[in-house]
Chain A
């Protein structure tokens, strides 16, 4: 069974950084891409970028370059996203979701991690 398990909710101060994780199981991690997506409360979904489980190659939405950094640990089949210089605009739920190029749709999603930026 495919599972994407995300880390718990975070409360962080403005200007700080946070690292979110997405631990996977039930499929061959290196054969898929992992995307990260942002959903602010009551808002639509934004694609942040993706990373290939095989070689760690990345692609970013220009809007999130400099804000998000994606990495993987193949040994534990886990994807990570670092968010830096956090502001209130970064308060959101962040999802990880897998896809397989050239099929750019998301067939499995993690449950999401709520990040709250507040002093």
Chain B
């Protein structure tokens, strides 16, 4: 199974700061990575597909990059509604797997 390692586990930031969240795959997966946001007691919401493709209805401050084994989710000027947990998911091979998440919290 492909292991996805997300870092950091927790990121403390002040609203208005810009941040980068990392997801590293245990083997090359091209651009088969997707990013989700999960707020407390809610289901995940798709933010970015295939590493960098935007999703309709998602604010433009969210962007993704990377290929191979290293991927980044960037949030430009974090807003209060962005404080939640972020997961990456790979679709390169079955079984589909998720990273352990990065919690974005208010400093």
The chain A residues found within 8 Å of chain B, CB to CB, are: 35, 44-47, 59, 61-63, 95, 97, 103-107, 109-112
Contacts and interface: CB of A to CB of B under 8 A. Distances in A.
Interface in B13-68: 32, 34, 36, 42-46, 49-50, 55
Nearest to A44: B100
A46 B98 contact: yes
A95 B94 contact: no
B44 A45 contact: yes
Nearest to B91: A104
B72 interface: no
A105 B36 CA distance: 10
B43 A63 contact: no
Interface of chain B: mostly helix, strand, loop or mixed = loop
A45 B91 contact: no
B31 to A, nearest CB: 12
A44 B43 contact: no
Interface residues of B, number: 22
Contacts of A111: 42-43
Contacts of A105: 34, 46, 49-50, 89, 91
B28 to A, nearest CB: 17
B73 to A, nearest CB: 14
Contacts of A110: 43
A106 B95 contact: no
Contacts of A61: 94-96
Q: Interface centre among B49, B94, B96, by most A CB within 10 Å? A: B96
A35 B89 CA distance: 14
Interface in B87-107: 87, 89, 91, 94-101
Closest 6 CB pairs of A and B: A104-B91, A109-B43, A61-B95, A47-B96, A105-B34, A45-B98
A47 B31 CA distance: 19
A61 B94 CA distance: 8
A47 B44 CA distance: 13
